[in-house]
């Protein structure tokens, strides 16, 4: 399964972000806590360059709590200010402005020493599609201004939004990169909903998800689909057929695949992290 998706509005957004980065003090990089590396757009390092950055691991409730702590420590060691949040439930959002002020401590001190009046921090919010940017914007602003949706590519334009007296936000559309060099990353993004389902082979994606849960969370897989421990070790194609039969779909594997994918995305198999911290070294070496 080869996954590619780079609509025209994303190419335009990339240019606009590059042009407007000079107007902001800090960048809020929103990533999916379930895939802390795979949901980071590698092009953003070139665009953001040396701007201070606050990495926000969103959807932290859907991710493995132990993995959240390890990834937060990893990013902190890389020199980034980092928070684990849940924009949907408004958890941790109130920590963003104070953390941004910490990241900009020296810059703000220099401005005060020059006699400049205190002003709102200007921030740009970036992230790939469906990572929860619009929901976060709405939480920060305190009312529904940014357009939200549960599918990627909802936000097509850029807009400045004000959050109280301390923060001004520049919203941007979610931007994927033109080519996934590693198809494993494409599968991870697809499984969490960052890529439109119409572009996918759902049976392959469902089997990828089953394979992951059989490896890292076999007990959950067994409990959810009434499987024995031995059945969780079946080849994934056979496992998909067995689950389809148990759920009453018989040989309608497309419906069974769609059901499995949606249950993984909604957290019905429990919290999970696709990018495993313990495999970090191997992932970096491969790149």
Least confident range of 6-20, 21-35, 126-140: 6-20
pLDDT given at position 219? 96
Same domain, 155 and 214: no
Higher-confidence position of 67 and 200: 67
Whole-Å CA distances, 151 to 45, 116, 197: 25, 43, 9
pLDDT given at position 180? 57
Whether 176 is covered by a domain: the verdict is no
C-alpha 58/C-alpha 78 separation (Å) is: 19
User: Encoding tokens for residue 19?
Assistant: 């042009």
252 annotated ligand-binding residue: no
Q: Tell me what the mean pLDDT of segment 211-224 comes to.
A: 96
Strands (E), 59-120: 81-84
**Does 137 have pLDDT greater than 90?**
no
pLDDT given at position 12? 65
SS3 57: strand
267 annotated ligand-binding residue: no
155 annotated ligand-binding residue: no
Cα-to-chain-centroid distance, residue 24: 22
131 annotated ligand-binding residue: yes
Cα-to-chain-centroid distance, residue 117: 36
pLDDT in tens, 264-279: 999 999 999 999 999 8
Name 184's Cβ contacts closer than 8 Å, sequence gap at least 6: 38
Whether 189 is covered by a domain: the verdict is no
Q: Tell me what the mean pLDDT of segment 70-84 comes to.
A: 95
C-alpha 180/C-alpha 195 separation (Å) is: 12
Q: Among residues 175, 171, 154, which one has the least CA distance to residue 43?
A: 175
Of the three residues 116, 149, 171, the one that is the final residue of a domain is 171
Distance between first and last Cα of the chain: 20
188 annotated ligand-binding residue: no
pLDDT given at position 173? 60
pLDDT in tens, 101-110: 999 999 999 9
Whether 70 is covered by a domain: the verdict is yes
Mean pLDDT of the chain: 85
Is the alpha carbon torsion for 198, 201, 203, 207 positive or negative? negative
Same domain, 14 and 79: yes
pLDDT bucket at 7, cuts 50 / 70 / 90? low
CATH number at residue 71: 3.40.50.300
Read off the DSSP letter of residue 62: G
User: Considering the entire predicted model, what is its pTM?
Assistant: 0.85
Name 186's Cβ contacts closer than 8 Å, sequence gap at least 6: 1, 2, 3, 4, 180, 195
pLDDT bucket at 47, cuts 50 / 70 / 90? confident
pLDDT bucket at 247, cuts 50 / 70 / 90? very high
Whole-Å CA distances, 227 to 1, 156, 220, 231, 255: 27, 43, 10, 6, 19
Whether 167 is covered by a domain: the verdict is yes
Whether 187 is covered by a domain: the verdict is no
Burial bucket for residue 241 (CB in 10 Å: 0-12, 13-18, 19+): middle
Residue 84 sits at φ, ψ, to 5 deg, of: -100, 125
86 annotated ligand-binding residue: no
130 annotated ligand-binding residue: yes
Residue with tokens 């684990």: 84
Query: Each residue of 220-233: b (16+ CB within 10 Å) or e?
Result: bbbebbebeeebbe
58 annotated ligand-binding residue: yes
- List helix spans (H) across 21-167: 43-48, 65-77, 96-103, 105-113, 133-141
Whether 214 is covered by a domain: the verdict is yes
pLDDT in tens, 162-217: 888 899 888 666 665 555 567 788 889 889 988 777 667 899 999 999 999 999 99
Same domain, 57 and 141: yes
pLDDT given at position 156? 45
**Does 6 have pLDDT greater than 70?**
no
Q: Tell me what the mean pLDDT of segment 114-121 comes to.
A: 90
68 annotated ligand-binding residue: no
Q: How many percent of the chain have pLDDT more than 70?
A: 82
Give the range of the structural domain holding residue 147, as residue numbers without chain letter. 8-171
Question: How many domains, the chain?
Answer: 2
Same domain, 246 and 109: no
Higher-confidence position of 257 and 280: 257
**Does 158 have pLDDT greater than 80?**
no
245 annotated ligand-binding residue: no
pLDDT bucket at 8, cuts 50 / 70 / 90? low
pLDDT given at position 198? 67
Q: Among residues 183, 218, 187, which one has the least CA distance to residue 200?
A: 187
- The answer to whether the CB of 189 falls within 8 A of the CB of 4 is no
Of the three residues 149, 171, 193, the one that is the final residue of a domain is 171
Whether 196 is covered by a domain: the verdict is no
């Amino acid at each position: 399964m080869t996954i590619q998706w780079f609509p025209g509005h994303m190419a335009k957004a990339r240019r606009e972000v590059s042009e407007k980065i000079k107007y902001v003090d800090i960048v809020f990089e929103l990533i999916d806590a379930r895939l802390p590396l795979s949901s980071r757009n590698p092009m953003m390092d070139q665009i953001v360059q040396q701007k201070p950055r606050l990495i926000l691991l969103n959807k932290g409730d859907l991710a493995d709590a132990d993995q959240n702590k390890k990834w937060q420590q990893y990013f902190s060691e890389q020199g980034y200010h980092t928070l684990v949040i849940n924009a949907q439930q408004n958890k941790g959002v109130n920590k963003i402005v104070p953390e941004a002020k910490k990241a900009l401590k020296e810059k703000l001190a220099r401005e005060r020493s020059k006699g400049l009046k205190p002003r709102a921090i200007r921030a740009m919010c970036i992230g790939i599609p469906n990572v929860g940017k619009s929901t976060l914007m709405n939480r920060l602003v305190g009312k529904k201004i940014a357009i939200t949706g549960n599918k990627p590519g909802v936000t097509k334009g850029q807009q400045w939004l004000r959050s109280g007296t301390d923060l001004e936000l520049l919203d941007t559309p979610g931007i994927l990169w033109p080519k996934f060099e590693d198809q494993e990353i494409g599968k991870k993004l697809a499984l969490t909903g960052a890529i439109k389902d119409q572009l996918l082979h759902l049976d392959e994606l469902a089997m990828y998800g089953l394979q992951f849960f059989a490896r890292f969370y076999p007990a959950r897989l067994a409990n959810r689909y009434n499987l024995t421990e031995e059945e969780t070790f079946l080849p994934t194609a056979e496992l998909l057929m067995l689950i389809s039969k148990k759920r009453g779909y018989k040989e309608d594997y497309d419906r069974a695949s769609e059901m499995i994918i949606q249950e993984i995305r909604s957290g019905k198999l429990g919290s999970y992290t696709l990018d495993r911290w313990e495999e970090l070294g191997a992932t970096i070496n491969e790149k």
